Structure formats: C-alpha cells, structure tokens
C-alpha cells in the first residue's frame, strides 16, 4: 500500500445508503500524486455518488476519504478544482467575466486574474470569444470554458467529470493537450469518462465501479487486451456474480 503522503486521493471502505438502497459498498481507491486516473462505470454504477462523497457534497455512512492527505476542509478545497458534467453558467456574463467571477473565489489579485484568464482563453481557443456572452456559446465552447474555470487557480488535484462531452475533434484535442500539460506540471487528474480510448491514451491507472463496488483497479500498462474488451468482460462477470448472490 502506498504511503499516505504520496497519495492525492484515498477512499477506504466507503459505504453509502440512500433511501434504504445501498449505493456505495466498500469503495476503496488510491490515486497517486501526479497521475491521471480514469474512473469508469456502466450506467447506475455509483459514479455520481462517489464524486459527491469525495467533494463533501454528501457524507458517507462509514469509511474514510482523504484529499491531498487530509479530510476535506476549506483550505484543501482551495487546492482542488472541479469541472462537473453539467456546469451551471451565468449566461448574461461574457466568457472573460465568467472566469474573472470564479477567480475571485480564490482571492487572486487583479493582475494574476487577468494573466491567467488570457492564458486559458488562448489555450482553449476561446480568445476570440472572451467578450461574447455565454448565451451565445456553443455546447463545445461552454465545455471548454467550464474546464478553464476548474483550473484557474492552479489546483494540485483536478476532478473532471466527462470533460470531452459535446466536443468536436479539435476541441477534444485541445482538452487532451491541456490535461497532458497539467500532468507535466505535477497536477493530479481524477478523470470520469465513458470514452475508453481516452483512458488508454491519457491515464496512468483506472478503476471500474459497478453496482456500487470497485471491481477493477489497475495500471493501463498492465492491460493485456484492449480496454474495451477488459471493461465489458469485467462488468459482465460481476453482473453474473451479482445475479448469483441474489
């Protein structure tokens, strides 16, 4: 087992029941500092509940969660970034105003805010739309501005929930390049996705959650078959096991 100080994220035997239904069962995860970690699931597997528990939006019934080596508190929250699957946007703001609004939550001074905002607008090919209202943005542009707000403050650990959703090939390439840049800077990325080819290209390790349980957790380099084949086989085998138990 890794020493806790080398871990960016650790879940240890996390359980959660909602409306008398067991959603998370003995969830144990280890995410190393500086790696890109893919979190995979079939529908209804417990992905959203896991994310909410990590971010402190719900509390597990039992088990422990450590983010950057400690329980999540206000100081730790300033060291992480989060891009939800469906970001809420203030459509009456321009892209630049939206990023500036979010940057103020991290007490960044004016010059730092302006410099960082322009860096990200350029990196995500949104410089031309910086003064355009978000109501005029396409879905792909909104996805990219949502990613920008998650990393404005240069977090140490970033949670990305389906960051490629709604992007065209060029947008996908931009996001992938940005993720690799973040990794090169030592940022840890926890990456929710159902696009298995992205996991193979971007991730160091991955886990599969099924029926509220972690059913696989391994390095991409350890795979002896395509990830799609491994994923389907793992889910099917565990589905059969669940039916036998019932």
- Contacts of residues 58-61 at CB distance under 8 Å and 24 or more positions apart, as own/partner, are 58/16, 60/14, 60/15, 60/16, 60/24, 61/15, 61/16, 61/17
Query: What residue numbers bound the domain in which 245 lies?
Result: 1-79+156-166+179-246
Contact 214, 208 (CB under 8 A): yes
Residues 142 and 194 in one domain: no
Amino acid 107: pLDDT: 83
Element (H, E) at 165: none
What pLDDT score was predicted for residue 3? 44
Q: What is the pLDDT of residue 47?
A: 83
Same domain, 162 and 235: yes
Q: Radius of gyration of the chain from Cα atoms? A: 19
Question: How many folded domains does the chain comprise?
Answer: 2
Q: Which runs of consecutive H residues, i.e. helices, occur in the chain?
A: 47-54, 74-77, 95-103, 110-123, 139-151, 169-184, 196-202, 227-245
Q: Which domain CATH number covers 60?
A: 3.40.50.300
* Mean pLDDT of each 10-residue bin along the chain, 246 residues long: 69 93 92 95 79 92 95 91 85 95 89 94 94 94 92 95 86 90 95 90 94 92 94 86 54
Question: Is residue 173 situated within a structural domain?
Answer: no
Nearest alpha carbon to residue 154 among 90, 192, 103: 103
205-210 and 213-219 beta bridge pairing: antiparallel
Q: What is the pLDDT of residue 171?
A: 86
User: Could you tell me the sign of the dihedral formed by the alpha carbons of 232, 238, 241, 245, in that order?
Assistant: negative
Strand 205-210, strand 188-192: pairing: unpaired
Q: Are 187 and 141 in the same domain?
A: no
Any domain includes 199? yes
Q: Same domain, yes or no, for 56 and 160?
A: yes
Query: 31 with 137, same domain?
Result: no
Say whether both 93 and 186 belong to one domain. Answer: no
Report pLDDT for 139. Answer: 87
List pLDDT tens digits, range 55-69: 999 999 999 999 999
Say if CB 152 and CB 116 are below 8 A apart: yes
237 and 162 share a domain?
A: yes
The pTM for the full model equals 0.91
């Amino acid at each position: 087992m890794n020493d806790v100080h080398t871990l960016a994220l650790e879940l240890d035997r996390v359980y959660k029941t909602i409306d008398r239904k067991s959603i998370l069962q003995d969830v144990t995860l280890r995410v190393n500092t500086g790696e890109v970690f893919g979190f995979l699931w079939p529908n209804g597997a417990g992905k959203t509940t896991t994310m909410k528990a990590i971010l402190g939006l719900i509390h597990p019934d039992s088990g422990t969660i450590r983010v950057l080596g400690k329980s999540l508190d206000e100081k730790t929250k300033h060291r992480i970034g989060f891009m939800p699957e469906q970001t809420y946007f203030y459509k009456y703001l321009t892209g630049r105003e939206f990023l500036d609004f979010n940057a103020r939550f991290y007490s960044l001074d004016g010059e730092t805010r302006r410099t960082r905002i322009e860096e990200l607008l350029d990196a995500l090919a949104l410089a031309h739309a910086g003064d355009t209202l978000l109501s005029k943005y396409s879905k792909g542009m909104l996805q990219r501005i949502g990613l920008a707000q998650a990393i404005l403050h240069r977090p140490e650990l970033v949670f990305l929930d389906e960051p490629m959703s709604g992007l065209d090939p060029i947008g996908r390439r931009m996001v992938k390049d940005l993720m690799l840049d973040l990794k090169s800077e030592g940022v840890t990325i926890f990456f929710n996705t159902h696009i298995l080819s992205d996991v193979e290209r971007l991730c160091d390790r991955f886990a599969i959650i099924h029926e509220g349980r972690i059913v696989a957790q391994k390095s991409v380099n350890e795979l002896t078959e395509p990830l799609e084949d491994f994923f389907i086989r793992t889910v099917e085998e565990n589905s059969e096991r669940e039916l036998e138990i019932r």
